[in-house]
Amino acid sequence: MAVIGVMYNLKGESPEEGEPPDSGAELDSESTVLAIANSLTAYGHSVELIEGNETAYLRLLKRDVDVVFNICEGLRGESRESHIPAILEMLGIPYTGSGVLTLAITLDKPLTKKILSFHNIPNAKFQVISSEDEIDVNSLEFPLFVKPAHEGSSIGISSDSLCNDNVELLSQVRRLLNTYKQPVLVEEFLPGREFTVAIIGNERPYIFPPMEINYSNVPEHHGNIYSRQFKEQWFEDKYYTCPAPVSLEIEKQIKDTALKTFRVLGCRDLARIDMRLDRNGIPNVIEVNPLPGLAPDYSDYPRIAQKMGWSYEELINAILACALKRYGLLHLISADVLRYRQIA
């Protein structure tokens, strides 16, 4: 059995004056960290909890862990998710999940879209706006969708993110520029159904059936937007349908697009790919999540796995098994998880 360092960033107190109201929304709760730790100890591992803060490097210098289970979102900066993995690589400590480059790229939404477009992976037409003076969307067709260029967990996204004219667009771009102090991504809105796809593995990854975001129970004034409000208030099962009721053809298109995205961006061990159908019914990638949330009974990734009969403990230990196989360390896991060798 192994000594696993679970590395994380905890949600803190309420945002200070001048900070965005949803600042820190992507960070994890203590209950999530403990759920992961308990899942690992249930399979015989020893666990060390290590917060991914400014002193983490000094803690890791002790080298008293065999591998790190990484869920660090980072503290600051446009490449914050890659900071702890960079330290782990420098120290030669194995860790779960995607590498430094993938985590840095995917937190930059415009750069991610450019890479997807180069590889002919469908995604909405877009522009990046860094100041109010740059607002010129004549090449795009309304309605438009606006969001911060370097955030996750629906930070900065609300029902007002959907803009039907230049007046609404100016208002939202101004709000995001002033609140989040970063460029704004403006995309043509994709009007179709919305799905998310969970992937686990590396050489022969397993693609879970897609889950659909069910907007039929959402108040009409909110619209079909997977906003921060949606995630905080409407997390009961009635808002999510898994497996999604789609034709075999659409399911294949969704899974093929998800896997190609996973490969192109160099994701490892796990990822979640979000998509919407365009006006022609073609799945378009809207978000790439190489570090998906793992809050039990809440986050999309474990919710999908649970619907497919996986317990939370199985999921966490399967993710670990995928990483250990990459590093040639499968001897550190018990026979209980060796069945995941096929997807690792």
122-151 residues labelled b (16+ CB within 10 A) or e (exposed): bbbebbebeeeeeeebeebeeebbbbbbbb
Cβ atoms of residues 129 and 103 within 8 Å: no
- Percent of the chain clearing pLDDT 90 (strictly above): 75
User: Quick one: pLDDT at residue 344?
Assistant: 61
According to DSSP, the β-strands at 3-8 and 46-51 are parallel
pLDDT per residue as tens digits for the range 95-145: 999 999 999 999 999 999 999 999 999 999 999 999 988 888 889 999 999
Using DSSP's 3-state secondary structure scheme, residue 67 falls into: strand
Tokens linked to 8: 């994380």
The DSSP result for 182-220, as a single string, is: S-EEEEEPP-S-EEEEEEEESSS-EEPPPEEE-GGGS-T
User: Quick one: pLDDT at residue 262?
Assistant: 98
Report the range of poorest mean pLDDT among 48-62, 229-243, 298-312: 229-243
The DSSP result for 112-144, as a single string, is: HHHHHHHTT-----EEEESSGGG---TTS-SSE
User: Quick one: pLDDT at residue 22?
Assistant: 61
Q: Identify the residue whose tokens are 């607002």.
A: 135
- Domains assigned to the chain: 3-97 (3.40.50.20), 125-188 (3.30.1490.20), 194-342 (3.30.470.20)
Q: Identify the residue whose tokens are 């998710």.
A: 81
- Percent of the chain clearing pLDDT 70 (strictly above): 93
More confident residue, 206 or 137: 206
pTM (2 decimals)? 0.93
- Average pLDDT for 171-191: 94
* Side chain identity, residue 117: S
92-294-48 Cα angle (round to 5):
45
User: Quick one: pLDDT at residue 223?
Assistant: 84
Cβ atoms of residues 146 and 161 within 8 Å: yes
Mean per-residue pLDDT of the chain: 91
Instruction: Quickly count: other Cβ atoms within 10 Å of residue 285's Cβ.
Output: 23
Cβ atoms of residues 225 and 162 within 8 Å: yes
